A and B are shown apart, each in its own frame.
Chain A
Amino acid sequence: MTRIPIFGSRLALSTVLTAAMACGAQAASPTAQAPASSGKAVYEHWCAPCHAAGPGHPGTQSLQIKYGGKLPAVLLERTDLAPQAVAVFVRQGVLLMAPFRKTEITDAELAALTAYVAGNFKNP
């Protein structure tokens, strides 16, 4: 997988060489949706695509570089994020993360989201 760090990003394709394999008849199976709290559901829909663990998550990548490991790069592992701080980032955005409007995340959903994301918050 090769990528170059530019915006338009029509720029990647696997060129990995491996032995040829035959395509089997695997059937697609729908993923079961686990019951989720409202805050968790909002997080998974709106935040996880950028902030989940692992490569390919730009928010996680950004926070890894920003904090250099002094704070967890994965949002849900943070213990220093107060609900109010989460709300500020959601409604004001930061860098390339544009703010989320109330038609995307309502005030009620934001309250549930901030409680969920800040679930590990330890007030010093």
Chain B
Amino acid sequence: MAVPPDVSPTAFNAALAAWRQAVGAEWVFTTAEDVALYRDAYSPYWGEPEERVAAAAVAPATLEQVQAVVRAANQHGVPLYPISTGRNLAYGGSAPVYSGSVVLDLKRLNRVLEVNERNAYALVEPGVSYFDLYDHITKAGLDVWIDPPDPGWGSVIGNALDGGAGWTAAPFRDHFGSHCGMEVVLASGEVVRTGMGALPNSKSWQHNRWGFGPWVDGLFRQSNFGVVTKMGFYLMPRPEALVSATVTTSRDEDIVPMMDVLNLLENQHVVNGSTSIFGGLGRPGGNSAAWTITLPIYGPEEVVRAQMRYAKAKYAAIPNVNFVEGELFCTPLSAEAQARVRLVNFGIPNLSTFAMLGRSPANPEPDGGHIGFSPIVPRTGESLLEFKRFYSENLLKVSGGENLGIVGPVYMTCWEHTLVCLIMFPIGRDKTRNAKMRAAFKGWVALAAERGWAEYRAPAAFQDMVSDTYSYNNHALRRLRETIKDAVDPKGILSAGRYGVWPKHLRKT
């Protein structure tokens, strides 16, 4: 049996005994075979000494059990690493950031506590996946949509806390931004409810996210300040229709006015669907345009047709740009339509994204997993052109002159006001190849930082490096976070190192 670092066998055994008492012996995992199930299948250090691995795992099923587990860990100084469904693949999966931590597996907290159709919200526990919530809503016959990310097996709470995004309308695609109220177990074992949930017998927890006084919810995003055990989320009343258009140009420089119009339409909320930008690869319909932008709009049929006319008129003002209105889909989708749309755009979770990532005709011998470098750049055409040049000029340099099969850039406009330029790295079981990918990844982080670009989210193995790029005023932001960490988790037992925040006894500087 492995023992966490800096924890005596006596203390660890005492914690294990307390956990077995709290959750039942069958939900405390210490054998090598069971603990191996918590390895990060997409680890860029797979099978190497630097791979982040758990010492054990414990899986409570209730809030009270979570409290008991955390209290025992705090008492005995055992590092914990909470996971929700453990499917945060490419960002660490179910493995801890600090090797030797005990994974606090929350998958068994899997209740959909409420779905309110009239006010369009849900209250869930961390083990609830997008599939689970969708099934619950479907079986109940409720007329609301969820906002799924690409893979539907992820946790609704976990995805929000890690900064994930979805595919329906703008108010819902920022998964943390669309939450309303949370319940958190602190390192002491104490339970906090945020917003209106702090009111005993509150009847409006999911009716107002702010409550009274300083809003603290953001402290638990990409964080290690507490264990989130409940969260509310806004849901989308089923829109009557979805219509999309495709805008293309054959001239590279046209992306500048095209992006200005895109931003205008999104900032006016005329275009509310998840827009896409294609440049240089993967153009819809295989067209030969230099740039392609897609514009989906959700709403009542008459309204979206009017909004589309407005969007068309705006793009008509740009010479040489072609605007093609696409099919209008009515909801609920017919079986025939459902078979030919991208389901996540209609609030239907699935795993089809892995058909693009896994073995395919274009990639018959894939590496297996992947990680992504995803810096945020200004949402302008000039930035797109700069990033496109940046990528092509540095791709071979960063890869040591070798074609590693790195894919990019993918331009993501999943959140309003934000543009993410994604570069993706295959990860597998070949240690030499993984080392090359790691070197390339680090190269991109450093080069991007020189231009003032940095990631919105990072694989566990690179969170320190990315955190270091946010260094304004001698790392003032990180030092503030460390001050908070020391106050709310003085023994540093929760998710040490997550997103670059280490407890005092493990800080290198």
Contacts and interface: CB of A to CB of B under 8 A. Distances in A.
A100 B328 CA distance: 39
Contacts of B24: none
Given A8-B424, A28-B143, A58 B284 contact: no
Interface string B402-442: 00000110101010000000101000000000000000000
A58 B141 contact: no
Q: Which of A16, A49, A104 is packed against the most chain B CB atoms within 10 Å?
A: A104
B462 to A, nearest CB: 16
A16 B363 CA distance: 26
Contacts of B150: 9-10
Contacts of B89: 96, 98
A4 to B, nearest CB: 3
B324 interface: yes
Contacts of B317: none
A9 B97 CA distance: 26
A57 B352 contact: yes
Contacts, number: 205
B369 interface: yes
A65 B89 CA distance: 24
Interface string B323-349: 011111111100000001111010000
Interface in A102-117: 102-104
Given A10-B414, A28-B143, A96 B330 contact: no
B412 A8 contact: yes
B356 A5 contact: yes
B232 interface: no
Contacts of B374: 8
Interface string B123-148: 00001000100000011110100000
B366 A2 contact: no
Contact of B354 (A30, A96, A100, A101): A96
B330 A61 contact: no
B500 interface: no
Nearest to B89: A98
A57 B332 contact: no
Contact of A45 (B29, B105, B131, B345): B131
A49 B353 CA distance: 11
* Main DSSP-derived SS at the A contact region: loop
B282 A3 contact: yes
Given A26-B332, A101-B107, A96 B246 contact: no
Contacts of A7: 90, 356-357, 370, 372, 407, 424
A24 B330 contact: yes
B362 interface: yes
Contact of B282 (A11, A101, A103, A104): A11
Contacts of B361: 65
B93 interface: yes
A58 B282 contact: no
7 contacts: A9-B356, A17-B326, A26-B330, A27-B332, A49-B131, A55-B355, A98-B41
Interface of B: 27, 29, 34, 36-39, 41-42, 57, 59, 85-87, 89-90, 93-94, 105, 107-108, 127, 131, 138-141, 143, 150, 152-153, 165, 167, 238, 240-241, 244, 246, 274, 276, 278, 281-286, 294, 296, 301, 305, 324-332, 340-343, 345, 350-364, 366, 368-370, 372, 374, 407-408, 410, 412, 414, 422, 424
Interface of A: 1-18, 20-24, 26-31, 33, 45, 49-50, 55-59, 61-62, 65-66, 91, 93, 95-104
The 8 lowest CB-CB distance pairs between A and B, nearest first, are A4-B282, A23-B330, A98-B41, A58-B354, A62-B359, A103-B107, A56-B352, A58-B355
